[in-house]
Amino acid sequence: MASFGVPPVSLRHGVRLVAQAASTVEQVLLAVGEQVNLDSKTRDLSLQLLQAPSHASLSLAQKRIFSLLDLDCYPRFLQSDIYLSLLREAD
């Protein structure tokens, strides 16, 4: 019969991995020169959620980063000299 007082080893391991990942991400977010360029609201909320990490702690930041990549980086890449020269070479 299962004991409800102690979570299974796999669950404890998963919780530990989430906590380690949250700690690593928090260090990166706080490190000078290694910050992800997020708006202050998203950054502050992400740091707050990392105080009690879960699988969803960085969901908002992830969505914001993907949005920035989609709206800014990708269109700039499509207009870059490197990409345009690759297109010319492919023809």
Residue 48: the pLDDT is 92
Residue 1: the pLDDT is 47
C-alpha–C-alpha distance, residues 21 and 25, integer Å: 6
pTM of the model: 0.48
DSSP character string of the chain: ---SSS--HHHHHHHHHHHHHHHHHHHHHHSTT------HHHHHHHHHHTTS--TTTTHHHHHHHHHHIIIIIHHHHHTSHHHHHHHHHH-
Mean pLDDT of 61-76: 84
More confident residue, 58 or 19: 58
Residue 12 has pLDDT above 80, yes or no: no
Domains detected in the chain? 9-90 (1.10.167.10)
Residue 19: the pLDDT is 74
